[in-house]
Amino acid sequence: MSNIEFVGLKSAPSKSLKLKGKKVHVTDQVSCTNTRIYMKRYEDFVQYHGAVSTKNIKEADIILVDTCAVTQQREDMSLEMVKKSETLAKGGAKIIVCGCLAGINPKRLQEYYKGDFFSPKNEKHLAQILDLDEEEAKFLDPYNIRGRFMGADYTDVSLGLRLGIYACTLAHQIDNVISLHWIPWLGRFLDYSQAANVKAYAISVSQGCLGNCSFCVIPMSKGETASLPISFIIEKIQSLCADGVKKIILTSEDVGAYGVDLGATVVDLLEHIHRIKEEFYLYINFIDPRWLRLHGSDLVKISKLGKIRFLQFPLQSGSNSVLRRMRRAYQMEQVLPHILEFRRRAPKVTLGTQIIAGFPGETLEELEETRQIVKKNYFHRTDIIDFTNRPGADTEKMDSHLPQDEIRKRVCLLQKEIRTPFIMPSY
């Protein structure tokens, strides 16, 4: 078991051997980088109390099932994973469903599954499920640094995807030793695929967000922004640098909202991180573009310093009227000038975005506005995803939902405008 640090806790939580002799297995990843960090934390928690990890689900006594429900497809994949775990589990094994499905659609989960589960908002329940007490549960204290080395956690995938993962992992392994950034398109690809890099370490700087987007159910499982103090993150990065780590991912549901609950900002965090003398690169996921209105110029200034290699601003649409119905807190003219500023003044930074195609009531004119934005190639990576109606999201009450085949047609139309070499599969 790797030496688990407790950056944040005054003292290491009490360690029991209540799970001694038990084997714990974590299922294939279905979720995002932030939830994968949580899954690692749950695995470390079970190991901390005596269990050992196993890659073989059939010999496991405790099976932690990773789930997601941000889209219909991820929810279906998660339920398949739950069913498969029940099929493969040995008699008496304890299956525990973790991740966002439990917080977003527990009703559907319980139609298929009668066992234990908990959501990221209610982690201490994992301790109760394993008969560990309050003191022993302190390990899961949210004010304790969370992170993990990345790399794809897939075993049961198609040959095509397996080859893709293998090629991507290999490219990272070479780039970790000899930089491949002299090949521009490959450098960009490596920047926005650090989640597949086994030498990249991802830190969860906060949980949750401050958004109220009409299509999104993530707050149902992750709650409002809860940030880790800057000092915890700095201490963690310094210890990673001391261990020779060169690539660090900062992630959350919305990194842009970092620190609002602490009276700090994402700019404060990045300025502190840039005071660390060691050489390393930063890859930053999920900054809601609304924060460009407040921090755009400062983020450009910091990006010119050269540590930041990747920034992701999920636009979700290129049409102001759709953005209003999505309840996104910005309009295009408030964010695009900042994106152009990044391209002009920090050209080494790889920029990523995400677009939802087929939002309820999306007219052909609105679709055309988004197509024009994608066509102009503001971003080096653009993920186009199908709109899916999520239970509990306000879009559920909206009328004029588009038929699924029309949504798919719009995804393909927008993907045709993407000029980057790799189009990531849409979920």
Summarize as ranges the residues that interact with ligand SF4 (CB under 6 A): 209, 211, 213, 216, 218-219, 253-254, 288
Q: How far is the CB of 32 from ligand SF4 (least distance, A)?
A: 10
Give CA–CA dist 135/12, Å, rounded: 10
Residues present in the chain in total: 427
Which residues pair with residue 171 across a beta bridge?
Answer: none
User: Which one, 213 or 270, has the nearer CB to ligand SF4?
Assistant: 213
User: Which one, 79 or 220, has the nearer CB to ligand SF4?
Assistant: 220
Q: How far is the CB of 287 from ligand SF4 (least distance, A)?
A: 10
Q: How far is the CB of 348 from ligand SF4 (least distance, A)?
A: 27
CA 200, 205, 207, 213 dihedral sign is negative
Give whole-number Cα distances, 365 to 248, 319, 379, 382, in Å: 40, 9, 22, 20
Give CA–CA dist 48/38, Å, rounded: 15
Picking from 270, 262, 250, 266, the residue whose alpha carbon sits closest to that of residue 224 is: 262
Q: How far is the CB of 416 from ligand SF4 (least distance, A)?
A: 25
Q: How far is the CB of 222 from ligand SF4 (least distance, A)?
A: 7
User: Which one, 33 or 85, has the nearer CB to ligand SF4?
Assistant: 33
The torsion of the CA quartet 370, 373, 378, 384, rounded to 10 degrees, works out to: 30
User: Which one, 181 or 327, has the nearer CB to ligand SF4?
Assistant: 327
Q: Which runs of E-coded beta strand occur in 285-333?
A: 308-312
Give whole-number Cα distances, 419 to 191, 237, 289, 374, in Å: 17, 35, 22, 9
Q: How far is the CB of 315 from ligand SF4 (least distance, A)?
A: 11
Q: How far is the CB of 138 from ligand SF4 (least distance, A)?
A: 28
User: Which one, 32 or 300, has the nearer CB to ligand SF4?
Assistant: 32
Q: Please, what's the b/e burial string for 70-79 (b: 16 or more CB within 10 A of its CB; e: otherwise)?
A: bbbebbebbb
Picking from 53, 31, 410, 398, the residue whose alpha carbon sits closest to that of residue 204 is: 31
CB-based closest residue to ligand SF4? 211
User: Which one, 57 or 228, has the nearer CB to ligand SF4?
Assistant: 228
Q: How far is the CB of 299 from ligand SF4 (least distance, A)?
A: 17
Burial of 115 (0-12, 13-18, 19+ CB in 10 A): middle
Q: How far is the CB of 202 from ligand SF4 (least distance, A)?
A: 17
Q: How far is the CB of 203 from ligand SF4 (least distance, A)?
A: 18
User: Which one, 43 or 288, has the nearer CB to ligand SF4?
Assistant: 288
User: Which one, 78 or 285, has the nearer CB to ligand SF4?
Assistant: 285
User: Which one, 95 or 205, has the nearer CB to ligand SF4?
Assistant: 205
* HSE toward the beta carbon, residue 64, CA cutoff 13 A: 31
Question: Are 156 and 28 within 8 A, CB to CB?
Answer: yes
Order of strands across the sheet that contains 247-251: 147-149, 200-204, 247-251, 281-284, 308-312, 350-357, 381-386
Report helix, strand or coil for 367. helix
Torsion-angle region of 123 (φ positive above 0: left; ψ -120 to 50: alpha; else: beta)? alpha
User: Which one, 46 or 213, has the nearer CB to ligand SF4?
Assistant: 213
Which residues lie below 8 Å from residue 313, measured CB to CB, with a gap of 6+? 287, 288, 289, 292, 335, 339, 351, 352, 353, 379
